[in-house]
Structure 1
Amino acid sequence: MKRSLFSGCCLLMVIQMQPLQAAPAGGQEAVTVACGDCQPGSRQTGTPASGLRFSCPAGEVVKFGQAVDAYLLSNGISMRHIAKTIDTEHGTLSYVMRTDRQTHDTLALARHPALRVKDERLLLPGAHGTMRPIHTVSKQEILLALMQTGRLTAFDAPACSLDTLKDHVAIRQNIVAWAENLNWVWPNGGQARWNTRYWRRGTPRHDVPLHVAVNDAFINQRLYSIGCYTGAKLVMIQGVLDYYQRIKRDPEQVKRIEARLWSNQDPLTDIEPGRMWDFEADFDNKEQNRPGKLLTIQYGVPARHFVPGDWAYFLNTDAKSYQKTGYEGSNAIYLGRNRFDDFYNDHNHAYTYHEKLDEVYQWRHGVFSRSRDAAKIKPLSRQAMARLEQPPKQGGLVNDFRVYPYFFGAPLPELPRQK
């Protein structure tokens, strides 16, 4: 059924789908509504402030929406679970999961029977030119998480293109794939160790291509003894460079990204925005407006909202154990399927959300290895665990930001000039 409502505002076309909870078979009901009937977005055009949003030339938005629909369907996403909104006047298009607006949880998406989420099997390069299979998060789950309520991912022009969306989803998947099976050595407060064939004290050798040096950290993992901060940065860099070098085969983009990483002569530094660390007592305010070389940041994200490929931070709020080098907090990559990385294979390659919270919390009890110090673990009640899910200011451990790659199909922020 189609109807029109006018309230002196732009005209929108909303495709109303069946709620996810019911998810019955059947068609869609197209309803035309006015701006005043919609949740305002950041541009005040009436598009939803959650999920995926595209801002394109007004005359192209309907055709572009058809292309996005086809991409979602090709990744096993039924349009019955999605609310699609088109604003033909302002050229905006949005996709939001048809879930309870108060429920922003992405951790259980893979277990929802109606969504029929499945892992994907990929091949990653191994030692001596071999390829190894790995089961990892699907593009389907990444897209569903991007469309979940509680968080907006905006592809505004010139990033409003299907290729930019596809690249972003594939990069997130590649980040996760490389984080699935890690076995680095934990330095435990000691000096880091690197494969000197490719690295000199944490800086890639200039006589080796950057993507080759980074790739070696994943091929010869036992030659690297690094902290979780360095581990998170390596995973992010590998996910991006390997995508453009091996998967998309775009040498010009690789060249641009590597030049950006080398811009301060130290590729592993400053890949994230400076303000990511503004919660620390010794934060340098000069870093507040420094953009990341590779990553951007989003604040105000609900506690249980993670998109596979996100870099999150779990803060150790215990003053005493915080002073122990390496235990200030946990830099965690979300792998999808309610799993977070395990850089050192101390917990069978992954932690669930509650296991990650418990890991950081238990440091105050001297549990610095889940296998070695298991006897020191003090179980948490359900109420205590719920509290830990909140931001630190509310008694929890999870900072409310998420860090993730730029949209590389669009211009990137200018980096500070080096003196």
Structure 2
Amino acid sequence: MCQLDGADDLHTTSPSPAKPNLDRIVPIVTPPTEPGTFNWGALVNVRTVALGSPPSSDPGLSPNLATVASPPSLGSAPIVVPTIVEASGTAGMEAWTQSVKETLITESTSEAVSSVKILSHALPCPSTTGHLFPHIIAAIHDQSPTNTAWINVFHALPGRFTLSDLPKSPPSTPGPAVGGDEYFTSKVFDSAVAIPDYQLDSKLLPASPRPVVPPGSVNVSIVERYIPPTNTNEYAEMFQLRGRSLLHDRLVELSPHNGMLLFIYPTKTGARSFMQHYLGPILDPLLRAITVVHDLSSELGKSLGQMSSVNYLDEYERLHDQVTRYCSMLSEGGSGDRNSVFTVVQASKEEAVLERTAWANDWWIKQEKPRIRETVNKYFRQVKKLPTSEMTGSHLIQEVLDGVANRKADDIRSESRGVEVGVFIIRRTIPQG
């Protein structure tokens, strides 16, 4: 059921249109902006839920930034702290993640400034496990000098989200008074940044560059994705100067004084591995059972099981060439800025072992829910067949999502395999001479 080829005609690959004005920073926990004062600003109107609640993020919709919530409402929200765990895969995975952390620390200026600004764009949405950004923040925290006043972390979030979706630091209680610095102390502060979903149709997005924090202000930026996007839109204009490029937007936000971008993205081989060894052993038998039991078309199961971006992605060699060429074009003034040089300082093909709680319960479900909803609704419209009382459209959607989250994989060895990703570290500097 997990198809590797192009999109079928049963569903629309583009989620609902995004609302405009997505570039405002939404403070969640921030350091003082002036001596003796806290500027809370306008807070996004979010709904607090328990940690075990079903996923509610909808990548196709944007946060309602027009509604202001009072700061006390934050206190009732559950605090979600990203789990700092060792990589559950092989020693090779631990090696490349350690190399990334060391390069970001030694090559950037994070050790020499009093206020370190980090932007984390975790795709398709941040989760408490599975992403690399907590490890990087912890490493920068541990290596930063004692005179570092603040580490500002901006979490780029598309669509509707709840406070429980946003990793938070520090927690409601301060770190220990003795025994040395811990990761979550008053040195680290988080903000949510409303950002467009690059999986939308590009015609619905503003042209790049469209930074969500002040250009030239970020010391370390982290863009990481490990599962394929829901459609081809995000990758289609990734390396275009006149398009809606996620990479362009993140690069212009880097400080010209050795600002560093970590870019992690699945290759075509990695996307196929995810479909075959992670999603397939769970979703394929689930869809077969659903279509047989409820007398549904096999074409519906095929449509629900495929992700159209898989064959559209590039293999590592092509991805490496694309990143290198794009940096050269930007350095030559392709974006109108001739005062910066973008250099790939580290590039490698690696494997990431994905945790079930991260890829199934968070990433895939929250990313694919709009597509599955549209596919199911379109199916019943096309066949002109009303769903039975036992299986309504909403029940079918929920059965698919719950099955991916909870069903045991037919192949118990599937999740021991890694997903191939390209790992790139790009530095922004001022031209010499």
TM-score, normalised to structure 2, is 0.27
TM-score, normalised to structure 1, is 0.28
